Amino acid sequence: MTESPSRSGAFESEVDQRVEAFTESISFDARLFREDIAGSIAHANMLSDQQLISPGERDQIIEGLVNILAELESGEFSFRPELEDIHMNIEQALIDRLGDVGRKLHTGRSRNDQVSTDMRLWIRGCIDRVDGLLAGLQKSFVQLAISEGEVVIPAYTHLQRAQPVLAAHYFLAYCEKLERDRLRLRDCRLRVNQSSLGTAALAGTSLDIDRAHTAKQLGFEGLVENSLDSSSDRDYMLEFVFCLSLISVHLSSWAEDWIIWSTTEFSMIQIPHEFCTGSSIMPQKINPDVLELTRGKAARVIGDLQTLLVLVKGLPMAYNRDLQEDKLPLFDAADTVENCLEIAIPLVAGSRLNRDNIAAGLDRGFLDATTLMEFLIKRGIPQRKAHHAIGELVRQATRQNCRLSDLSLEDFQAFDPSLDASIYDVLGIENALSAFRSLGSTSPKRVASQIGTWRERLEIS
């Protein structure tokens, strides 16, 4: 029988070729090769320090692994699907080179703890890349807040015009969401960055291994102690893909905003043409496809999370082969979010507000109505009364097809005779905007101080 690291002498026949094709994962787990080799080098060092292999054997193993790594990096390595996965491909390549010395590498280890270790290392690297990309996107939003931030835009609830805000306030709202995404990733990293190595198949081992030794070499902050837990646990991966899902939800809602803003009807933003595509039949079309795909790809990422949740929900303790299927949704979610962030960074940085068009439309929608109501409250009128009265004035202005600021003093005095011309100080969009006060509001002072905070935090000069 041909040699395979996982087919012991217990088998009476070779594997059916159809099973080989059905069970392989090398077509999608080959990308774990760096992590797999790092884990094996740490393991070999530990085995030697624990006198489970000799220092000479350790050196041969590490040299062999380093050479295999070079072959993998250069694309010269030939993968063998009959060896199932990346772990056995690398191990067999080592055995082919070193014979019995290579056959010692797997001492005190199982593919169950090996695969989980590899994925923890891979996710840790990915968390750090995504964090960098999120910071990059925050910087793009802050740059826009600096260059376009003083523009007053209508803010919406129910997609109906609500109140005026500074554009900077809007851009910084996305910085906040992305900051929470970063914090969530940082928290998730704590649980990702725990070593599974040395829990072996599921029960640990009778060999005198040192788990803390490998954990330290691989930069893990601690280890997953209970071997049954470790063999079956994929919580760290689910958490990570949840973090990715929420990032893609944030990106999707941003994309939706800007798709709407870039329509002729809204005409609030110009997306750089490098990030738009055309139509094969309608020559006038300049479409925001990148934004639409960002929205669409969020569905994939959410689907990946769903796949993982369903994958693990009915598994008996401990490792089950179903878990091999975790890699496809994990990699898909990670690749998708990285791609979306990579393209969002320059798209945001290159976008410009259509200042004239936005300004021309601000008088529609009574954006100053709430500030006017608050003016009345400040004069002692109960909120519910003021709310009702301004509603009537809005109705009157709608009938007369004019702004609230176009109504006469008599119109206001009909509601409350004590009102004087100072009421016009809060009417009009600019006045309404500068009336804001509260912490976190769109008050120009508050927003300027927020821009300062973000500049410092993200080290923007």
Provide the minimum distance between the beta carbon of 217 and ligand ARG in the complex, in angstroms, as a whole number.
Answer: 22
Print the binding letters for residues 59-88 with ligand ARG: x by CB under 6 A, - otherwise: --------------------------x---
- Binding of residue 211 to ligand ARG (CB under 6 A): no
Q: At what angle do helices 111-148 and 235-261 cross, to 10 degrees?
A: 30
- Binding of residue 232 to ligand ARG (CB under 6 A): no
| CA gap 102, 438 in Å, rounded | 68
CB-nearer residue toward ligand ARG: 232 or 248: 232
Among the listed ranges 253-261, 298-306, 315-323, 333-341, the one in contact with ligand ARG (CB under 6 A) is: 315-323
Which residue out of 13, 78, 158, 206 is catalytically annotated?
A: 158
Of positions 106, 109, 111, 189, contacts ligand ARG by CB under 6 A:
111
Among the listed ranges 132-140, 289-297, 319-327, 410-418, the one in contact with ligand ARG (CB under 6 A) is: 319-327
Provide the minimum distance between the beta carbon of 301 and ligand ARG in the complex, in angstroms, as a whole number.
Answer: 21
Of positions 115, 237, 369, 432, contacts ligand ARG by CB under 6 A:
115
Which residue out of 273, 279, 388, 449 is catalytically annotated?
A: 279
Provide the minimum distance between the beta carbon of 241 and ligand ARG in the complex, in angstroms, as a whole number.
Answer: 16
CB-nearer residue toward ligand ARG: 322 or 430: 322
Sign of CA dihedral 378, 381, 385, 386: negative
CB-nearer residue toward ligand ARG: 324 or 442: 324
> Is 253 assigned a catalytic role?
no
Provide the minimum distance between the beta carbon of 94 and ligand ARG in the complex, in angstroms, as a whole number.
Answer: 17
CB-nearer residue toward ligand ARG: 115 or 238: 115
Provide the minimum distance between the beta carbon of 205 and ligand ARG in the complex, in angstroms, as a whole number.
Answer: 15
Which parts of 1-30 interact with ligand ARG (CB under 6 A)? 25, 29
| CA gap 405, 205 in Å, rounded | 81
CB-nearer residue toward ligand ARG: 241 or 353: 241
SS3 for the chain, per residue?
A: CCCCCCCCCCCCCCCCHHHHHHHCCHHHHHHHHHHHHHHHHHHHHHHHHCCCCCHHHHHHHHHHHHHHHHHHHHCCCCCCHHHCCHHHHHHHHHHHHHHHHHHHCCCCCCHHHHHHHHHHHHHHHHHHHHHHHHHHHHHHHHHHHHHHCCCEEEEEECCEEEEEEEHHHHHHHHHHHHHHHHHHHHHHHHHHCEECCCCCCCCCCCCCCCHHHHHHHCCCCEECCCHHHHHHCCHHHHHHHHHHHHHHHHHHHHHHHHHHHCCCCCCCEECCHHHCECCCCCCCCCECHHHHHHHHHHHHHHHHHHHHHHHHHCCCCCCCHHHHHHHHHHHHHHHHHHHHHHHHHHHHHHCEECHHHHHHHCCCCCCCHHHHHHHHHHCCCCHHHHHHHHHHHHHHHHHHCCCHHHCCHHHHHHHCCCCCHHHHHCCCHHHHHHCCCCCCCCCHHHHHHHHHHHHHHCCCC
Among the listed ranges 57-65, 321-329, 348-356, 364-372, the one in contact with ligand ARG (CB under 6 A) is: 321-329
Of positions 291, 323, 344, 353, contacts ligand ARG by CB under 6 A:
323
Among the listed ranges 47-55, 136-144, 316-324, 334-342, the one in contact with ligand ARG (CB under 6 A) is: 316-324
- Judge contact between 124 and 192, C-beta under 8 A: yes
Provide the minimum distance between the beta carbon of 348 and ligand ARG in the complex, in angstroms, as a whole number.
Answer: 37
Provide the minimum distance between the beta carbon of 191 and ligand ARG in the complex, in angstroms, as a whole number.
Answer: 20
CB-nearer residue toward ligand ARG: 85 or 368: 85
Provide the minimum distance between the beta carbon of 364 and ligand ARG in the complex, in angstroms, as a whole number.
Answer: 58
CB-nearer residue toward ligand ARG: 241 or 251: 241
> Is 43 assigned a catalytic role?
no
- Judge contact between 452 and 173, C-beta under 8 A: no
- Binding of residue 324 to ligand ARG (CB under 6 A): yes
Q: Which residues are catalytic?
A: 158, 279
Residues that bind ligand ARG (CB under 6 A): 25, 29, 85, 111-112, 115, 319, 321, 323-324
